A and B are shown apart, each in its own frame.
Chain A
Amino acid sequence: MTPHILTRSLDRAATTFILVVAALGVLIPLSNLLLPQGSLFQVPTYLVALWGKYVCYAILALSIDLIWGYCGILSLGHGAFFALGGYAMGMYLMRQIGSRGVYGNPILPDFMVFLNWDKLPWYWYGFDHFAFAALMVFLVPGLLAFCFGWLAFRSRVTGVYLSIITQAMTYALLLAFFRNDFGFGGNNGLTDFKDILGFNVQAEGTRAALFFLSCVALLIAFFICRAIVTSKLGKVLIAVRDAESRTRFLGYRVESYKLFVFTLSACMAGVAGALYVPQVGIINPSEFAPGNSIEAVIWVAVGGRGTLVGAALGAVVVNYAKTFFTSGPLAPYWLFMLGALFILVTLLLPKGIVGTYNSWRETRRSAAAAADEASAAREDGVAAPKMAE
């Protein structure tokens, strides 16, 4: 009687979203690789990398929408999970440089040689294997989120208090990663990458492939989120968001639900970061900056909280605007514009772009239904009796 988990999760907006992402994921790389350079429809390589970045941000936005839009957990530190995933990938890419570094050390990355370290710290072991690094991309953010969430949700830290400690968490990581002796390249972070799985990270083909994979990851993340929010678990999440203690009195272990989505969301953010790093070519501690996490929350608010599609859309729209404005004469004013955008959206479009569109369609549909009823009644020559509520 309930439809299958895969078909149930598809409505019109979701289907449109999947088709658009799939089309872009295939067409952009193809046009970049197959069409002659300079042709009207050829997407230049720099744009492929730029859009690849947007797609990674869209995954991060989805992960935030899952916990904020559906479960009411406002994390202002999700950039930390994104950055941790990015660092895990960055460590793999550093180990791939091998003896091609400036100092030519086959094992130690340049910054370690520079710091006069004579051997690799234990936590860098294993990162020369892609599979290990890929596992860490999930595991490190997931584990941190699990421990953090276990403590916070069990102690019933909610609302603004939770938001503040997530900020503190990402800030603490920012400070730690800035330190040279922490072993992750300090201020400069990890960069000068050469190969990923044997392919040159700078090559057009690799960039196109990374873009394609980012789109695939976005679709998988979207499917997982849709499957969750359309399941009974999704209803419980919304129940927690709207009336947490009521949910508890019904016999739901609220902290388990929060812990589950929070950890899952952190893993998704980690994957986003891991795909981001090879496309932008660098990961440094500034990714942990509290402002980054707040910006990501703004994307979700602009696109429409609790709509998934809106979160992804918001990430792309805001970042496109950011690219547009920061590359022109308006660059110094971007942060003011971002702030203004957040205020305007909160005041004028509290449901975000997609949320507002949805309710506009809803009112139009019910108005149309009412008009139909009225005209039908007129044709019958009798007024339809009004049903008393």
Chain B
Amino acid sequence: MPVMDTRATSAMLYLDGVHVSFDGFHAINNLSLALEPGEMRAIIGPNGAGKTTMMDIITGKTKPDEGTVLFDGTVDLTRLDETRIAELGIGRKFQKPTVFESQTVYDNLLLALNVDHSVKGTLFWRGSKAESERIDKVLETIRLTDARNRLAGSLSHGQKQWLEIGMLLAQDPKVLLVDEPVAGMTDVETHLTAELLKQINKNHTIMVVEHDMTFVRELGVKVTCLHEGTVLAEGTIDQVSSNERVVEVYLGR
């Protein structure tokens, strides 16, 4: 397929004709999507549109029934497991903030650093100055420097969301998949999160799934609207939100 080859080489993340069904329910239906290197893309769509399933497919948690999923134009993600895909450089923030609650903020970031993740490597690990400087930098970016020694479980909801974004930063992946980063945040926190993502986007490719339209508007990036597992509309936020079908899907028919 020559068409695929030319497009696939330039895209950081490339999905083509992906299908997934769970017990006859078509969660993802002929989904095609391409993310250019350095791009930030917002994914919107009503509940059950397949946003989280799409992230599950990209990160190896769910195997598609058919279709192509390529990373960096060459790597077939459908053949790899979660650990391998994470090692390749795809990081993920979950919908529900999942941090290691019984460990400190600092340790959460330490665990996320993209250093030797083997059993031997961690058993004989000795901290280095470079590592702690990297963690300090991340702490500053996510505004949690003062909370570094607090248990992650004691953070507020918004702080947990940031910590998880910070863990993505420490992981330093090529692509960040961010699932509903501002769910449950105050307006101020939402604004700060948009700033944070824009800052991260300077040297990372990002895919953000979000319901909050103010937030998506603030990001000011290309928007893809999913519905019933397929792309319904794509374009700027104004184009997408004025699209008749999108309005129909969101408001009910």
Which residues from chain A sit less than 8 Å from chain B, CB to CB? 1-2, 228, 231-233, 235-236, 238-239, 242-243, 245-254, 256-257, 260, 389
Q: Which of A233, A250, A253, A389 contacts B125 (CB 8 A)?
A: A233
Q: Is the CB of A250 within 8 A of B129?
A: no
Q: Are A236 and B87 in contact (CB under 8 A)?
A: no
CA distance A233 to B115 in the complex (A): 13
In the bound complex, residues from chain A placing their C-beta under 8 Å from that of B102 are 238, 242
- Please tell me the size bucket of the interface on B: 20 to 34
Q: Closest residue of chain A to B126, judged by CB?
A: A2
B98 near A246: Cβ-Cβ < 8 Å? yes
* Contact between B82 and A249, CB atoms less than 8 A apart: yes
Rounded to whole Å, the gap between the CB of B85 and the closest CB of chain A is 8
A250 contacts which chain B residues (CB < 8 A)? 86, 111-112, 117, 167, 171
Q: How near does chain B come to A4, taking the closest CB pair, in angstroms?
A: 9
Which chain B residues lie closer than 8 Å to A231 at the CB level?
A: 122-125
Closest 3 CB pairs of A and B: A251-B86, A232-B125, A233-B122
Please report which residues of chain B, range 75-132, place their CB below 8 angstroms from some CB of chain A when the two chains form the complex: 82-83, 86-87, 91-92, 94, 98-103, 107, 110-112, 114, 117-119, 122-127, 129, 132
12 contacts between A and B (CB under 8 A): A1-B127, A2-B126, A2-B127, A228-B123, A231-B124, A232-B122, A232-B125, A242-B103, A245-B61, A249-B91, A250-B112, A251-B171
Inter-chain contacts of B167 with A (CB < 8 A): 250
A251's contact among B87, B101, B123, by CB below 8 Å, is which?
A: B87
Cβ contact of A1, chosen from B87, B132, B171, cutoff 8 A = B132
| Chain A residues, CB < 8 A from B6 | none
Chain B residues, CB < 8 A from A232: 110-111, 122-123, 125
A-B interface pairs (CB < 8 A), number:
78
Q: In the complex, which residues of chain A have a beta carbon less than 8 angstroms from the beta carbon of B61?
A: 245
Extra inter-chain contacts (9) besides given A228-B123, A231-B122, A232-B125, CB under 8 Å: A1-B132, A232-B110, A233-B125, A235-B110, A238-B102, A239-B100, A246-B98, A248-B86, A251-B171
Interface hub of A250, A254, A389 (most chain B Cβ within 10 A):
A250
Contact check, B114 vs A242: say whether CB atoms are below 8 A apart.
Answer: no
- Determine how close the nearest CB of chain A comes to the CB of B65; give it in whole angstroms: 21
Interface centre among B59, B112, B132 (most CB of A within 10 A): B112
Contact of A233 with B100 in the complex, beta carbons under 8 Å: no
Task: Check if A260 sits within 8 Å of B110, measured CB to CB.
Answer: no
B214 at the interface (CB under 8 A from A): no
- B123 touching A233 by the CB < 8 A rule? yes
